[in-house]
Structure 1
Amino acid sequence: MKFAILLLAGSISLSFVPWQPDFETAKKLARETNKFILVNFSGSDWCGPCIRLHKEVFESQEFKELTDQSLILYNADFPRNKKNQLSKALQQSNEALADKYNPLGKFPYTVILTPGGKVIKAWEGYSNNNSAQFIEQIKSACNANRN
């Protein structure tokens, strides 16, 4: 029984992907580590494709390995349920990010940025991708823009 619990705990920690608490922290870490920033615009409690994208791609071991090598992550979330509302400051920050990088308000919308904030690749939605294809597209975008 103890072994099963340890095995389960180990498998959970293997697929943990660290999302930054705010965009400023993500930018700072990206500059310090020379990694790209992946910003995902999502509606975590109402957008079906957003939820699927997080479960199938962002929670996968393959994606974790890619983030370890190349990415700093930030989820610009726009929840609708009152119990999931973000702080006012975080809402304003996410709205400013959306104005700049997602002005049409698409969900999910995923953008890869340089540490300086330049867009190198963007994806609208998730319906036509499977997780392996999406991860490969992210990896290719990062590799093509590596200094």
Structure 2
Amino acid sequence: MKKILFTFFIGILISTNSFSQEKLTWHTNIDEALELATKENKNLLLFFTGSDWCGWCKKLQNDVLKTPDFEKWSADFILVELDFPKRTAQDIKIKTQNRKLQRAFNVRGFPTIHFVSAKKLENGKTNLNNLGKTGYVRGGVKNWIKTANNIVN
């Protein structure tokens, strides 16, 4: 009986722990993300993706962005997904915002990730300082994080 209760308790503990893990928040509105970055004094990670058509974007998602290592590493960033879907409907405001940011950061291929620091100016506008960029990095999450650290440090 004690073994059954102990096993039951461990099972509940494990399942509770896995559900209580904090999931990443990916923002889609750059204005909200900038406000949060300024408030929390964090840099932004801008993920330019073609979520419903780009094979390398999906590979980056699975190999890096959806891993516990990335979740832990990205705690110092405000994450922003700037999507360019072909088959999925998208709000016109988000679509326009994403196109403007694509032009501003001269993004020509997907996936592209820009690391950006935001500084609030006296006139109320926000200045974006591009720290560098990367995309898919072979070798999994460890190599991707090493590359990203070289950019942001």
TM-score relative to the length of structure 2: 0.79
**What is the percent sequence identity of the aligned residues?**
25
Cα distance, 1:108–1:3 mapped onto 2, change above 3 Å: same
Query: Letter of the aligned partner of 2:103 in structure 1?
Result: D
- The amino acid across from 1:35 in the alignment is K
Q: List aligned pairs for 1:1-147, cutoff 5 A.
A: 7-8=14-15, 10-11=17-18, 13-14=20-21, 16-68=23-75, 70-81=76-87, 84-104=88-108, 106-116=109-119, 117-123=128-134, 125-126=135-136, 128-142=138-152, 144=153
Corresponding residue pairs, total: 138
Give how far 1:71 is off. 0.5
Task: Kindly indicate whether the alpha-carbon contact (under 8 Å) linking 1:66 and 1:139 is maintained by their aligned counterparts in 2.
Answer: no
Q: State the Cα distance separating 1:80 from its structure 2 match.
A: 0.8
- Which amino acid is the alignment partner of residue 78 of structure 1? F
C-alpha distance in structure 2 between counterparts of 1:40 and 1:80, whole Å: 17
Q: Which runs of 5+ in 1 are unaligned?
A: none
RMSD value over aligned CA atoms?
A: 2.2
The higher-RCO structure (CA 8 Å, 6+ apart) is 1
Structure 1 residues 110 and 67 mapped into 2: Cα distance closer, same or farther (>3 Å)?
Answer: same
- Give the superposition deviation at 1:128: 3.1
Matching residue's letter, 1:67 = S
| 2:137–2:144 contact (8 Å) kept in structure 1 | no
With normalisation by structure 1, the TM-score equals 0.82
Q: Note the residue ranges of structure 2 that are not aligned, 5 or more in a row.
A: 1-7, 120-127
Evaluate the alpha carbon distance shift between residue 85 and residue 3 of structure 1 in structure 2; reply closer, same or farther with a 3 A threshold. farther
